[in-house]
Amino acid sequence: MKGARGWVIAGAIAIVIAVAAVLLQPRQDSPEHSTDSDAANGASAALLFSQAMGHPTDQITGSFGAPAERSVMFVFTPTSPYTADEADRIHQWVLASGGILIYASEQADPELDRAFGVKRLGGFVSGVEYQGTPVVDGVIRVAGGDGMMPLDPSPNQVPILRTGSGFVAGFVQRIGLGQLVVLADPLVICNGYLERADNGRLLADLLSVGGADAHVAFDEYHHGLTVSDFAPQAWVSTPWGAALLWLLVAVFFGLVLRGRRFGPIIERQAEVARSDAEWSVAVGQLLRRSSARGVTLGLLAGATERAVAARTGLPLQPRERFWNALWVRAPEVAAELAQIETSLYTSSSTERDLLTAASRLHAIAHPRPKNLAGPGR
């Protein structure tokens, strides 16, 4: 039975692990357009494209900070919003350090939009394809998503992409020493769209804005935790994940081996009921080993009082009233019992004295018929 229980527990753990592995498999979807995703709406190709063009390329993870001077920074749809301080630092980086920010998001990040004065029109319009303006040389048509929230550029913000109906899908703006490029439809530079129309050329132009050897950084810090971060492929490759895996393996085999026997089953012997005499002897031996003569005499005196009270018909409690009534009803018994109880402290010095006192108490508790003291005597 124990072995079967171990197998059941081990099987349940294995099922839980299998279900978790299936549910936590990284899905082929990246709504935040992460550069770690190979999905059609991911941006891993942008990172690889930057490296292939010879740009020093990295990701901003762990802690957030502005890149080096005159670098190019891509921000794809932040799922963890920018704080006011972070947005102001990036604005100062663009303004004073010559940074180039490529801000591609189909939805507004409140602090980034505030810091850079980005305004968006309410509602969505159909996208699918955009026309490039003369600002982006060689980019005629760009394929995008089914819809996007159009931008509302100011006079200093020059449109670079428009829908067929004239809505602005992207603009560029000079800010101090740097530049800002805003795309309302990030899909135009995502994996599954780079081979369409002039999308690849647009991405190449954006990567080259800072120069042929400009440093390029992709902000993954503001994508926060995603489901793929908890996939088995992600955590098993880490030291703590590997340790956890070994722990699960050890627990599994421990549960399997827990039910194995080291030999034949030994039947447990049936317990035999002990007699009252055996219990009495055992208690006596314990009292003797502990030298509890005073305790023994106290127990015997209490038992004697209960026996006398039962024989004379007197209530034992309250004790003072019992003794007063006993002196009236059976003065001989009362006198002898009082004399023995008074000498208990001196009778507990040796076992012989203990035996003598116990015999006298027994004689009072259980007198012979000829010595019974009736109520009238």
**Alpha-carbon distances, residue 324 vs 305, 327, 365 (angstroms):** 13, 5, 18
Q: Residue 178 — very low, low, confident or very high, per pLDDT cuts 50/70/90?
A: very high
Top pLDDT among 35 and 123 is at 35
For residue range 331-365, list pLDDT tens digits in order. Answer: 887 887 777 777 766 655 567 777 777 777 777 77
DSSP class of residue 210 equals T
DSSP class of residue 151 equals B
The DSSP line for 298-340 is HHHHHHHHHHHHHHHT---SSHHHHHHHHHHH-HHHHHHHHHH
The DSSP line for 213-274 is T--EEEE-GGG---GGGGSHHHHTTSHHHHHHHHHHHHHHHHHHHHT--SSPPPPPPPPPPP
Phi, psi of 347 (to 5 degrees): -90, -5
Helices H / strands E in the chain, number of each: 13, 11
How far, rounded to the nearest angstrom, does the alpha carbon of residue 222 sit from its chain's CA centroid? 23
For residue range 198-234, list pLDDT tens digits in order. Answer: 999 999 999 988 888 899 999 998 887 544 455 565 5
pLDDT at 377: 44
Highest mean pLDDT among 131-145, 248-262, 288-302: 131-145
Tokens of 322: 């019992």
370: pLDDT strictly greater than 60: no
